[in-house]
C-alpha cells in the first residue's frame, strides 16, 4: 500500500501506469473501487501490474501479520483500558470499533482480502470466466491466507476473537431492498444503520479519528494529565506554539476582564455583542498587519469560510485559484461561494500561471494560499504569487494561521518576515510599507488559537473590503461574538508578542535542535524551512501504533496524522517543539522516538532512500535552509533552551506595554511593595525572571516543575 501515493511521481519510469495522466492517477487514487470497497481504483488497477501487483499483495499480507503480532502484547491491555474498554466474555461490535488495533486489524484484513481478489481478477480477466473462488484467491496470495482477526485471535486478543467472528459480515450501506424492508415493517428510515454504515466507511479507509483525553496544565506547560488526573504526560503536538495559553499577562488580563465584563458576550456583534474589547482587538490586528481594518470571527475556520464564500459569491464571474494543499476551511469557503475554481499544484508557480492564463485579465480572480503549510512544513512563495497576481489582475488571499506570532520581528507572519529589516525599522507604526510583501497581499487571515494561545480568527485588509465582509458574511453576522475576556486575552497576547521576539527565536533554536538530532539518528522528518517537524511514518496503522507507544510507554503525546489530512502512505507524527520544552524533555523525546522506530521497525531515512523516497524524504532534499536566519535569531540576544526546573523568561517591558494598553478599560494594575521591588529588579537586569527576584518565602508558592514565570501581579499568590 505504501507505494501507492508515489505512483504519480514514478510515472515516468513505470511502463504500466506511465501513460496515464497525473490528474487521472490522482482521481483514481481518491475514488473507492466499487468492487473492492477497502481499496482505491488506483490500487485496483495497480494490482494488474506485473511488478506492483504481487508487491501490493505481499505488503498487505505483512501488515496483517504485523497486527497479529501486536495483538498478544501486554501493552494492548493498557491501550484497551485507556480507551475505556474492559474485555469480558462478550465483546460488542462497538468495542471492536473502539479498540484501535482490532478495528485497524480488521480494516487491514479487509484490504488484504480485496487486494488478493483484485489481483486474481486482474490476472484472469477474460470474458466468460467464473469469478475466482476463495481457494483461488488464497492461492493467488501465494499461501493459505487466514484473516487478520483469526491470526490475532490465536494470539489471545479478545477483541480480535470477536472481530474474527464478525469480519465475514461487514456493515454496509442498506441497498434498495433493505430500505424497502425497513419501511414495510416500521415505516421509518433506519437511521442507526445509516450512522453505522458511515462510521464503517471511516474504519475501512483508516480515516476514523481517535481523540486522546489530554488536559494541558497551566502551571506545568508542556505537561498535561490524561483521563486520569494522576497520570501526567508531555505534550509534543499542541498548537499553543509559544505557551501563550498560560502567559502570565494574558491570564492576568483575562481575569481582570472576566471580573469586569462577565462570562459571555451577550449577543451577536449586531445585537449587544459589540464591545470596546472587540473593537480594540480589531485595531490591534489591523496594526499588526499594517492594514486599514480587521474583523474578528469565532475561529479562523469561520473567518476563511465566511470571507471566501462571501467574496466569491459576490464578485461577478469570480474564479478561485487554490493551492492543492490548502486547509479545509479555505476549500469549504471556496465551495460555499459557488464560484469556479482552479486547483494548482502545491507551491507550483508554473502550474498557477498556466491556470491564470486561461482567463481574460478583467475576470475577477482570487489566489488563495497559505504561508506555512502545517502538515508538511513547506512555505508558500508569497512574493512570487504576488507578482503573478499583479500580472493577471488577481487578488491575493493569504492564510497565516501557522505563522502569526511565530515569524517576523513583530510576529505578523511570514509576509512580515520576508522584509524583516524594513518592518523592524518601522516598529509599531500602523502605516503600510509600500511594496513590501505584506503590503502587496490583499487579504490576510490568522488565528488567535495557536501561537496566541487563546481562541478566535480574523481577516485583515482594506477598509471597504472588511466593511463588505462585515455587512454580508452570515458566519460573522449571525453568531454570538467571542466573550470579552477571551478577546482581551487574545489582544494581550498579540501585544506581548509584538514587543517580545524572544519566544519565537527560542522556538526556532529548539526546532533546529530537534530536527538535527532526528537526522543524526536517521529518523525521517519531511524537510521544510519552518517550525513544523513532521516525522514520516508512511503507514496509518504504524503511525497510530507509534503514537500509542509513545504515550503509553514513554509518557509523550504526539498525535498521529492520517488520511485524509495527509495522503495515504505519507502518514506521520507531527511534532511541535516550543520554547518551553526543556533540554531534558528534548532528550526524552529523541530517545523515545528512536526506541519506537526500532520496536515497530518503521522506515528510517536510509530505508526510504532505498525505496526511491517518500514525501521528499530519502531523495537528498533533507538540507532545507530554515527561514529564520542566525542573524534574525540573534535579534533576541542569546536565548537559551530551558533546563528542567528553570523558569521561563517573561519580558517585563512587554508586560508593561500590555498593561498600559488596557488601562482605559480595565484601569491601572496596583502593585504591592514586593511586586514593585521585583519589577525594578527585572527592569534593571538585577534578576532575569520573577522567581529569581522574589524573596525566599514567595518563591515557595511557585509550581515546582518548570514553573512559568509570573508577572509582578499575577494571579499566583505572591506574598513576601
Just list the catalytic residues: 450
* H or E stretch covering 200: helix 191-204
Helix (H, G, I), strand (E, B) or coil at 614: strand
From residue 207, alpha-carbon distances to 104, 322, 659 in Å are 10, 24, 46
In the bound complex, what is the minimum distance in angstroms from residue 274's beta carbon to ligand PLP? 20
What string marks each residue from 402 to 431 as x (binds ligand PLP by CB under 6 A) or -? Answer: x-----------------------------
The residue (of 287 and 329) whose beta carbon lies closer to ligand PLP is: 329
In the bound complex, what is the minimum distance in angstroms from residue 341's beta carbon to ligand PLP? 17
The residue (of 10 and 210) whose beta carbon lies closer to ligand PLP is: 210
In the bound complex, what is the minimum distance in angstroms from residue 303's beta carbon to ligand PLP? 7
457-461 and 443-447 beta bridge pairing? antiparallel
In the chain the first and final C-alpha atoms are separated, in Å, by 64
Helix (H, G, I), strand (E, B) or coil at 112: helix
Among the residue ranges 80-88, 97-105, 380-388, 398-406, the one whose residues contact ligand PLP (CB under 6 A): 398-406
What string marks each residue from 332 to 371 as x (binds ligand PLP by CB under 6 A) or -? Answer: --------------------------------------x-
The residue (of 475 and 538) whose beta carbon lies closer to ligand PLP is: 475
The residue (of 300 and 319) whose beta carbon lies closer to ligand PLP is: 300
In the bound complex, what is the minimum distance in angstroms from residue 447's beta carbon to ligand PLP? 3
Q: Binding of ligand PLP at residue 636 (CB under 6 A)?
A: no
Sheet holding 560-561, edge to edge: 533-536, 572-575, 560-561
Distance CA 18, CA 12 (A): 5
Distance CA 695, CA 692 (A): 8
User: Quick one: which of 33, 310, 329, 582 contacts ligand PLP (CB under 6 A)?
Assistant: 329
In the bound complex, what is the minimum distance in angstroms from residue 354's beta carbon to ligand PLP? 25
Among the residue ranges 317-325, 395-403, 405-413, 617-625, the one whose residues contact ligand PLP (CB under 6 A): 395-403
In the bound complex, what is the minimum distance in angstroms from residue 117's beta carbon to ligand PLP? 39
233 beta partners: 224
Q: Are 380 and 347 contacting, i.e. CB atoms less than 8 angstroms apart?
A: yes
What string marks each residue from 272 to 301 as x (binds ligand PLP by CB under 6 A) or -? Answer: ---------------------------xxx
Report helix angle 74-82 to 540-554, nearest 10: 90
In the bound complex, what is the minimum distance in angstroms from residue 414's beta carbon to ligand PLP? 12
Distance CA 413, CA 382 (A): 11
Distance CA 532, CA 709 (A): 26
In the bound complex, what is the minimum distance in angstroms from residue 635's beta carbon to ligand PLP? 27
The residue (of 451 and 655) whose beta carbon lies closer to ligand PLP is: 451
> Total number of residues binding ligand PLP (CB under 6 A)?
14
* Residue showing cell 488506483: 42
The number of beta carbons lying within 10 Å of the beta carbon of residue 545 is 25
The residue (of 45 and 269) whose beta carbon lies closer to ligand PLP is: 269
Q: Binding of ligand PLP at residue 528 (CB under 6 A)?
A: no
The residue (of 167 and 399) whose beta carbon lies closer to ligand PLP is: 399
The phi, psi pair for 536, rounded to 5°, reads -75, 130
Let me know how long the chain is.
Answer: 720
From the list 459, 508, 500, the residue with the least C-alpha distance to 249 is 500
The residue (of 457 and 527) whose beta carbon lies closer to ligand PLP is: 457
Distance CA 290, CA 700 (A): 44
Can you count the helices (H) and strands (E) in the chain? 33, 14
Site for ligand PLP in 298-317 (CB under 6 A): 299-301, 304
Q: Are 648 and 580 contacting, i.e. CB atoms less than 8 angstroms apart?
A: yes
Give the residue ranges of DSSP H helices in 441-564. Answer: 463-472, 474-477, 484-499, 502-520, 540-554
- Tell me, what DSSP letter sits at residue 525? B
Among the residue ranges 99-107, 260-268, 397-405, 654-662, the one whose residues contact ligand PLP (CB under 6 A): 397-405
Q: What is the 3-state secondary structure (H, E, C) of 292-341?
A: CEEEEECCHHHHHHHHHHHHHHHCCCCEEEEECCCCHHHHHHHHHHCCEE
The number of beta carbons lying within 10 Å of the beta carbon of residue 127 is 4
Helix (H, G, I), strand (E, B) or coil at 395: strand
The residue (of 323 and 709) whose beta carbon lies closer to ligand PLP is: 323
The number of beta carbons lying within 10 Å of the beta carbon of residue 261 is 20
In the bound complex, what is the minimum distance in angstroms from residue 538's beta carbon to ligand PLP? 22
In the bound complex, what is the minimum distance in angstroms from residue 402's beta carbon to ligand PLP? 6
In the bound complex, what is the minimum distance in angstroms from residue 483's beta carbon to ligand PLP? 16
User: Quick one: which of 164, 237, 401, 451 contacts ligand PLP (CB under 6 A)?
Assistant: 401
Distance CA 393, CA 597 (A): 50
In the bound complex, what is the minimum distance in angstroms from residue 481's beta carbon to ligand PLP? 15
Distance CA 199, CA 173 (A): 10
Helix (H, G, I), strand (E, B) or coil at 564: coil
Distance CA 242, CA 510 (A): 12
Site for ligand PLP in 364-393 (CB under 6 A): 370, 374
Distance CA 135, CA 148 (A): 17
Q: Binding of ligand PLP at residue 399 (CB under 6 A)?
A: yes
User: Quick one: which of 327, 549, 554, 574 contacts ligand PLP (CB under 6 A)?
Assistant: 327
The phi, psi pair for 323, rounded to 5°, reads -60, 140
Residues 6 or more apart whose Cβ sits within 8 Å of residue 140: 57, 116, 119, 120, 123, 132
DSSP character string of 207-269: --------EE-TTSTTEEE-SSTT-EEEE-S-S-TTSGGG-HHHHHHHHHHHHHH-SS--SBT
What string marks each residue from 439 to 478 as x (binds ligand PLP by CB under 6 A) or -? Answer: --------x-x-------x---------------------
Which residues bind to ligand PLP, rule: CB under 6 A? 299-301, 304, 327, 329, 370, 374, 399, 401-402, 447, 449, 457
Amino acid at each position: 500500500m505504501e507505494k501507492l501515493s508515489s505512483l504519480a511521481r514514478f510515472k515516468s519510469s513505470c511502463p504500466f501506469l506511465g501513460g496515464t495522466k497525473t490528474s487521472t492517477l490522482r482521481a483514481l487514487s481518491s475514488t473507492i473501487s466499487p468492487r473492492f470497497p477497502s481499496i482505491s481504483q488506483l490500487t485496483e488497477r495497480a494490482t494488474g501490474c506485473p511488478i506492483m501487483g504481487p508487491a501490493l499483495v505481499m505488503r498487505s499480507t505483512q501488515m496483517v501479520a504485523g497486527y497479529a503480532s501486536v495483538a498478544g502484547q501486554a501493552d494492548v491491555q493498557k491501550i484497551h483500558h485507556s480507551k475505556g474498554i474492559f474485555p469480558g466474555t462478550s465483546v460488542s461490535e462497538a468495542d471492536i470499533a473502539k479498540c484501535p488495533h482490532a478495528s485497524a486489524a480488521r480494516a487491514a484484513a479487509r484490504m488484504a482480502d480485496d487486494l488478493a481478489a483484485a489481483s486474481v481478477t486482474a490476472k484472469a480477466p477474460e470474458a466468460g470466466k467464473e469469478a475466482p473462488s476463495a481457494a483461488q484467491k488464497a492461492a493467488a496470495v501465494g499461501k493459505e491466507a487466514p484473516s487478520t482477526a483469526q491470526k490475532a485471535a490465536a494470539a489471545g486478543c479478545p477483541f480480535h476473537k470477536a472481530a474474527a467472528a464478525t469480519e465475514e459480515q461487514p456493515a454496509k450501506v442498506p441497498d434498495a431492498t433493505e430500505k424497502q424492508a425497513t419501511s414495510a415493517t416500521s415505516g421509518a428510515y433506519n437511521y442507526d444503520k445509516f450512522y453505522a454504515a458511515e462510521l464503517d466507511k471511516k474504519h475501512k479507509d483508516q480515516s476514523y479519528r481517535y481523540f486522546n483525553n489530554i488536559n494541558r496544565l497551566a502551571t506545568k506547560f508542556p505537561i498535561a494529565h490524561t483521563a486520569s488526573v494522576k497520570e501526567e504526560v508531555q505534550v509534543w503536538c499542541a498548537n499553543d506554539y509559544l505557551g501563550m495559553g498560560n502567559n502570565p499577562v494574558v491570564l492576568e488580563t483575562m481575569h481582570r476582564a472576566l471580573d469586569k465584563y462577565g462570562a459571555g458576550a451577550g449577543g451577536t456583534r449586531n445585537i449587544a455583542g459589540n464591545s470596546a474589547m472587540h473593537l480594540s482587538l480589531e485595531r490591534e490586528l489591523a496594526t499588526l498587519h499594517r492594514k486599514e481594518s480587521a474583523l474578528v470571527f469565532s475561529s479562523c475556520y469561520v473567518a476563511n469560510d465566511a470571507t471566501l464564500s462571501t467574496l466569491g459569491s459576490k464578485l461577478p464571474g469570480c474564479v478561485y485559484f487554490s493551492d492543492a494543499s490548502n486547509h479545509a476551511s479555505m476549500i469549504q469557503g471556496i465551495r460555499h461561494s459557488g464560484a469556479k475554481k482552479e486547483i494548482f499544484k502545491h507551491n507550483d508557480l508554473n502550474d498557477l500561471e498556466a491556470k491564470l492564463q486561461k482567463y481574460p485579465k478583467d475576470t475577477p480572480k482570487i489566489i488563495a494560499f497559505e504561508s506555512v503549510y502545517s502538515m508538511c512544513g513547506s512555505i508558500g512563495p508569497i512574493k512570487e504569487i504576488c507578482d503573478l497576481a499583479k500580472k493577471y489582475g488577481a487578488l491575493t488571499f493569504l492564510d497565516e494561521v501557522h505563522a502569526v506570532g511565530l515569524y517576523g520581528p513583530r510576529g505578523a507572519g511570514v509576509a512580515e518576515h520576508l522584509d524583516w529589516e524594513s518592518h523592524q525599522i518601522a516598529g509599531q507604526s500602523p502605516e503600510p510599507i509600500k511594496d513590501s510583501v505584506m503590503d502587496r497581499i490583499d487579504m490576510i487571515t490568522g488565528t488567535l488559537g495557536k501561537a496566541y494561545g487563546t481562541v478566535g480568527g480574523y481577516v485583515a485588509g482594506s477598509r471597504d473590503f472588511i466593511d463588505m465582509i462585515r455587512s454580508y458574511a452570515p458566519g460573522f453576522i449571525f453568531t454570538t461574538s467571542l466573550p470579552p475576556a477571551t478577546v482581551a486575552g487574545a489582544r494581550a497576547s498579540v501585544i506581548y508578542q509584538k514587543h517580545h521576539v524572544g519566544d519565537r527565536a527560542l522556538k526556532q533554536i529548539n526546532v533546529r535542535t530537534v530536527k538535527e538530532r532526528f537526522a543524526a539518528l536517521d529518523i525521517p522528518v519531511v524537510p521544510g524551512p519552518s517550525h513544523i517537524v513532521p516525522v514520516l511514518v508512511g503507514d496509518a496503522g504504524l503511525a497510530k501504533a507509534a503514537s500509542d507507544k509513545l504515550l503509553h510507554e514513554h509518557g509523550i503525546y504526539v498525535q498521529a496524522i492520517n488520511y485524509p489530512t495527509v495522503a495515504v502512505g505519507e502518514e506521520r507524527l507531527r511534532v511541535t517543539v516550543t520554547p518551553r520544552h526543556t533540554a531534558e524533555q528534548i532528550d526524552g523525546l529523541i530517545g523515545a522516538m528512536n526506541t519506537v522506530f526500532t520496536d515497530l521497525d518503521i522506515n528510517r531515512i536510509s530505508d526510504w532512500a532505498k525505496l526511491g523516497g517518500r514525501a521528499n524524504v530519502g531523495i537528498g532534499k533533507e538540507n532545507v535552509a530554515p527561514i529564520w536566519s542566525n542573524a534574525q535569531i540573534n535579534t533576541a540576544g542569546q536565548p537559551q533552551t530551558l533546563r528542567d526546573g528553570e523558569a521561563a523568561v517573561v519580558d517585563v517591558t512587554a508586560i508593561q506595554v500590555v498593561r498600559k494598553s488596557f488601562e482605559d478599560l480595565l484601569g491601572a494594575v496596583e502593585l504591592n511593595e514586593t511586586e514593585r521591588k521585583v519589577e525594578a529588579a527585572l527592569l534593571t537586569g538585577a534578576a532575569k525572571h520573577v522567581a529569581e527576584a522574589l524573596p525566599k518565602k514567595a518563591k515557595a508558592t511557585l509550581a515546582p516543575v518548570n514553573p512559568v514565570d509570573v508577572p509582578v501581579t499575577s494571579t499566583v499568590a505572591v506574598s513576601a
